[in-house]
Copies of this chain bind each other. A is one copy, B any other.
Amino acid sequence: MPGPVHDYLDGLARAGEDPLLAEMHALAAERGFPIVGPQVGRLLAQLVHLTGARRIFELGSGFGYSALWFARALPPDGEIFLTDGDPANMKLARGFLGRAGLADRAVFLTGHGQDLLQVAPGLFDIVFCDVDKEQYPEVHGLLRRHLRVGGAFVIDNLLWDGKVADPAANDPATRGVRAFTERMWGDPGFLSSLLPLRDGVGLSVRLR
């Protein structure tokens, strides 16, 4: 919500913002394209350092905003898989990460994120999810085979504009977010929290 505290948080999140991030913020605003924004972006980069991540998989990369935060935090031999159903998004992402000098640690895949994760080799340190909300419940089932123990799963929009907490909201997307959240919080193999950043960021650590 707007106000001095919001502006203060936004200012701290944007500290040291460079022209490439500024350009992505402007593109998102111009197109009304949802991006996680700098507060969440910082957290994504922090998770790379905290876990010592070398391998990251994104389900739904858009034009590469979250991937830029991740990729910048990875070590030079790290790798991030970007996926998106729209080839135009992947082309934009390739351009942005290339201009950041990070193309060598990124793999750009056009297609259905969950299908691509199922054929991706090895375990990942971090899996990020921002696909259509109706598909959220099925993503939970994929994690045990693709996320390492101690790794982080990050999923956006768990508040879904507050609709998850509104008993009158019963559309498929809201039901998808609710069903995912119930499964994840009920899974003793993960420790989960819902961070009230922007539209609600779910963070789950795989325990075993």
Q: Is the CB of A150 within 8 A of B52?
A: yes
Give the residue of B8, B39, B165, B207 whose beta carbon is less than 8 angstroms from that of A7: B165
Q: Does A49 lie at the interface of the complex (its beta carbon under 8 Å from any beta carbon of B)?
A: yes
- How far does the alpha carbon of A123 sit from the alpha carbon of B191 in the complex, in Å? 26
Give chain B residues whose Cβ lies under 8 Å from the Cβ of A46.
191, 193, 203, 205
Quote the shortest CB–CB distance from A31 to chain B (angstroms). Answer: 26
Give chain B residues whose Cβ lies under 8 Å from the Cβ of A42.
191-193
Give chain B residues whose Cβ lies under 8 Å from the Cβ of A205.
46, 49-50
Q: Is the CB of B15 within 8 A of A185?
A: yes
Chain B: which residue is nearest A41 at the CB level? B193
Quote the shortest CB–CB distance from A75 to chain B (angstroms). Answer: 11
Q: Does A82 lie at the interface of the complex (its beta carbon under 8 Å from any beta carbon of B)?
A: no
Give chain B residues whose Cβ lies under 8 Å from the Cβ of A191.
42, 45-46, 49, 73
**What are the interface flags for A1-45 relative to B under an 8 Å C-beta threshold, 1 for contact and 0 otherwise?**
000110111001101000000000000000000000001001101
Give chain B residues whose Cβ lies under 8 Å from the Cβ of A45.
191
Q: Is the CB of A162 within 8 A of B50?
A: no
Give chain B residues whose Cβ lies under 8 Å from the Cβ of A73.
191
**What are the interface flags for A132-172 relative to B under an 8 Å C-beta threshold, 1 for contact and 0 otherwise?**
00000000000000000010100000010010111000000
- Which residues on A are within 8 Å of B, measured CB to CB? 4-5, 7-9, 12-13, 15, 39, 42-43, 45-47, 49-52, 73, 150, 152, 159, 162, 164-166, 181, 185, 191-197, 203, 205, 207
